[in-house]
Structures are given as structure tokens and as C-alpha cells.
Structure 1
Amino acid sequence: MTYLNRLHYQLFIVAFIFVTLGTTNHVHAFGKRATPVIVVPAKMTDLAPVAWYSGSIFSRNEAMVAAEVSGRLIMVANVGKTIKKGQVLAKLDGTLAKLEVAEFKAEVQQEEAKRKFLAQEVARLKRLAKTNNAAQTLLEKTISERDTSRAELAVAKARLEQANFRLKRSVVRAPFNGTVVNQTLRMGEWVNSGNAVVYFVDTTSLELRARVSLSALQYLQVDDELLVKENKNQHHMVIHSLVPVGDPQSRLLELRLQGLFGNMAIGQAVRIAVPTAAARNVLAVPRDALVLRRAGSAVYVISDDNKAQRIAVQTGIASHALIEVSGNLKAGDQVVIRGGERLRPGQEVAIKKAAQP
């Protein structure tokens, strides 16, 4: 290497050192880079211990939709079809019902004509009776027949209404918006009144149901918010129904929760965090702040001069992402939640960003 080349090389090294020292703010006076960390403040909060229970997603509206009259099925909605409230789920052959309607319409007309004739006859006999040209017994008999005719007309009208009802009910309609999940009877089969035709489910109105220990009842009430885990996702849902009656064998009671279900499907399994004791106001840090060693648990607190201090702590209630700690620590202390694995007491750090637990 020539003298000129050596001079250029030395100048390059000196320039690199000055640029490096002038542009980084994460370097010690001795040339060691400060360790980047993420911190959050320790805080006072209400925590309660929880137990995890399994639950499932259910529809709030589901029904085995049954026929209200007997007949042969001539149409059944296909499985998977979405149908709005009031639309047709199934149809029965309505021929017999139509004939009954026609028969009872004629009967009503006949009884109306009879009642009209007897009413006129009573009026005529009353005029004749005033001049002693009609027997009183005949008048009384005609009045009785007129009154009987009125009753028979009422019966005929009731039969006509029943026939119209049976004709109308030969069409099975959706009781709410939903999807056909299963056909219990097929087109062409005979269905009796009360037989289920389709299993129909509302897939948009959902709720979470779980059975939890009776011992948790004293720590639960309607409108409480509970944490729900579904795969890798977490949700907060609200208790909308609490059945305060336990099964005598399992000692479990039923909870029902509502909230935003996103892409969750009916039948999907989830886990629910249920409190097992009353909440207490404690000093808490994120679980990620704990440094676990054989000697015990500790957290790293960052001082005002960006130095790490190792503080031994004792842990208590753990709830979701937070855990209770006690020791030489107070609310507001900045504790490390990322980058603390290789820290040493007194080591200088660079706070990358603040985050909330």
C-alpha cells in the first residue's frame, strides 16, 4: 500500500468515527450502545382472580318450525337457504281446505237467507196478531225459529273462519329472519299438525352461553363485562342473562353474554374468564414486565437518567394481561416490558416508545 493510499484509509477511518459519534444518541461515553427498551408505568387498578371456562356460540332465535295443519307437503325450502320473516318455508296441499272454504261459504249464505225470511215472517205475523188474524202460538214458534237461525248463522260463520285459517296455515312461513339448517320432512311426505318440517336458525342474532361454578355467582351480575378468548383473538362481552339456579349434580349455572361476534360461527368453542373472588385495588404491571429467576421475580425500573434498576417483587393476583406486584415499587414507575431479558442493574437504556398495558 502506497503512502497516499494509507493516508486516504486513515482519513476515512477518522471521518467514520466522528460521523458515528455525532449522529447516534444511544452511545455511552465508552462507546457501548444503549439497550433499547419499551416501558409502561406501573399503576393502581382493580384486579380479581379469574378461572377459565369453556363456552359456545348459540343463536338467540332457533326453532323446529312445525306445520299447524295436516296435509301432504308440496314444497320445502332447501337447506342453506336464507329466508326473511314471513316468507314461505313450506307448502301443504291446500285442495281440501279450499273445498271446505267453499262449502262453508255456501252454508253461511243459506243461513243468512233463512234468517232473513224468518225475520220477515215474524214481522208479518205480528201485524196479523194485532187484528186477531194469526194465532199467538204460530207467532211464538216463528220467533223461536228466527232466533235459532241467528245462532246457526253464527256457527256457520265460525266454521268458515276455521276453514280459512286451515287454508292460510297450509303455507308454513318463517317466524324470523334465518337460514334453513335441516329438512325434517321432504316434499311428498304426509305431515300431521304439530310435526316439525324444518330446523330454522337466525345466524345474525348470536349469544355466548357457558356453564360456570355456582361459587362464582356472588361475583357476577347482569351487565358485567368478561374477557372472551376465541383462537388468538380476545373480545370483551357483557352478561345479558344470568340464571341463578345451579344443576344439583354438576353445581354449575348458566351465563349468557352478548357483544361483537365478528366472524365467529354458531357452535364455535370459546373460553371465558370468570372472577373467582372480589376485585381489590392493587399495584399492577403487565405480565411481560416480570423477569423470572431462581432467586425470585423482579422488574426493571428506568430512572430519570435512563438507567435500569432491578427491583425484586412478590406477585399476587393475575388477571388477563396484568399481575399484582409488591416491593420497592410505586404507581407511575416506568417498568420495562420489552428488552429487559439481558438488562443489568445500572445499564443505560434508550426508550424506544411508550405503550399502555
Structure 2
Amino acid sequence: MMTDAGGPQPSPLPADHPPIAKPKVGVLLVNLGTPDEPTPGAVRRYLREFLSDERIVDLPRALWLPVLHGIILNVRPAATARNYAKIWRAESNESPLRYYTRAQAESLDARLAGVTVDWAMRYGNPSVASRLDAMKQAGCERILVIPLYPQYSATTTASVADAVFNAVKAMRWQPAIRMAPAFHDEPHYIDALAAVTRRHLAGEDFAPERVVISFHGLPQRYFDLGDPYHCHCAKTARLLREEMGWTEDFAPMAFQSKFGREKWLEPATEETINRLASEGVKKLAVIMPGFTADCIETLEEIDIAGRETFMEAGGEAFTAIPCLNDAPEMTVLMETLARRETAGWTA
């Protein structure tokens, strides 16, 4: 390289300095997690990690761990593995959550020139620590982490932050880290939900009489302690109704996936489905805006078990509206978040 005077330009490194990678900016998408295969052993490993997280179950360890290891991990994996087998993607031998999270990262990578995009799972593989280490080894000195949870909760978003900072705590040379905020009221998110909903319902041979807006549940106690999750869910539901022209009576909000005996956020999705059927609703749709990718909670719990509940209660037609998955609107949403949150890092 020549200087303005025509001579060689000095190297920025001493002649004997080992080569170093050009500093890069990275974006890491993180979703909840998945077992590696639909078998009791793989599910047991996944549940052990998931249910050992104090963000998920905050009971005293002396009380919870004996229950987890003595009962739950011996009883639950077989049934859960059977449910995973119902939705497993045979062509790629992976769960839908892994498939769609990877697809989302690949689509975003194609839109962000000069930025390294990767993906990880909070529980299971690929782990947050392994992908952060790989990105750092590839030269990423600044990394934006986007938890793929639209609504903030200590059980999800904060747990991702725990995993990220535990990983960088072990690094002698740490990359700069940014955590993207919740996007429950982001206009591109609401637009994406509406677009996917309209496309899906246009392809059905019936018009739903009601649409249940179902979010993953949370113990009521967490809300009482200040977790904003319920408020975020309520705002997402309100904005989606406004965009779709739905009333609250037409599209009630509910909460699914209750676990354990303590009181959870209400009303429960299963109870709401039964109530609507008992009131004479014959055609029902369910949308699950808290999930950005279809998974066991959407495909098995709602599209299979929820459908059976409704039909057995007298329903005639049921549809589960897909998550954002690999829809083009999801890519636009992720690009919007990534560009906003890497401001000052990229051109």
C-alpha cells in the first residue's frame, strides 16, 4: 500500500506480530432450547438443564432438586419424548424450533452485509457459550444478543442474559456485549403477526368465530414480584387486535403450559377453549404471539392437544395460526432490531 507521498505505508502491527482477525460485529439470536432427539434420554438431559435454572423454578434448591431428580426426571421424559416425536422434522432430524431458529439466522445473515450472524439455544445445543466463543474466535469484538422472546420475563430474557454473561465471565478478553430489549410493541412485530395471520386464515376453508391469543403461562407469584411479562402480553394482544380489527370478546387472551400446583396467570388456554365450545363456538383459531418459532408448545400442545380438546367439546373446525417462523416479515423484523441495536457499531 502506498502513502500520498508515494512510499510504502507503515504496517499497523510490528513485523513479528502474529496475525489477528479483522474486528467484526456479530449478532446472536437465542431461542429457548430443544432436546437433540425425541428420546427419553435426550429429553431428560434437556429437562435437567432447563428445570435446574433458578430463573425457571426459583424454589429453594434443597426443596426443588430432590423433586426434580427424584420424580420429574424419572417420570416426565418418556411422555415428553413421545410428544416431541409427533412434531419432529424427519427430513432434517431436528425439532421445528431448531429448524426455524437456524432459518431465521440464515435469512438475517443474508440481509446484514459485513455482520456475522449466528444462533444458539439457552438450553441444549448449540449452547450460548459455544456460539459466543466461536464468534469471538472469528473476530467478533462487538456482539449483539437478541433473545427471541417478544415479551420480557425473568424466566426467559433474563435467563439468556445470565447465560451470556456467565460465558463472557470466563473469557480473559471479553467482547463488548449488547442485549436487545423486548419487542412486544415493535410495529414490525405486530405487522408480521398480522401478515402471517391473514395469509393463514385466507387459506382455510372457514372463518373463525373466535381467535384465542395464547401466551406461555407464568406463575402468578412472578407477576406479583414485578415481572412485566403479563403487561407485555396484554399490550401485544391489544395492538394485534387493533391491527386486525378484532374486539376483545372476539379475541380473548389466555395462558398455556401450566406446570406445577401453584397459581398461574389466568385464564388458562385449555379452559378458554372449553368455555368457548360450551358457549356454542364451532369454529376456532388460536394464535401464539409469544413464540417466534413453532415448537412443542405450539404444534403439540395447541395444534394437536388443543384441537382435540375443542373438537371433543363440540367444535367443528379448528386451526392453529403458525408462528413467524421463516416468514419474510420475520426477517424484516429481525433486521430492524439488529440495525437499531448495533447503531454506532456498523456503518
TM-score range normalised by the length of the shorter chain = under 0.3
The structure carrying a bigger strand percent of its residues is 1
Largest Rg, 1 or 2: 1
How high is the TM-score relative to the length of structure 1? Answer: 0.20
How high is the TM-score relative to the length of structure 2? Answer: 0.20
Q: Which has the higher contact order (CA 8 A, sep 6+)?
A: 1
The structure carrying a bigger helix percent of its residues is 2
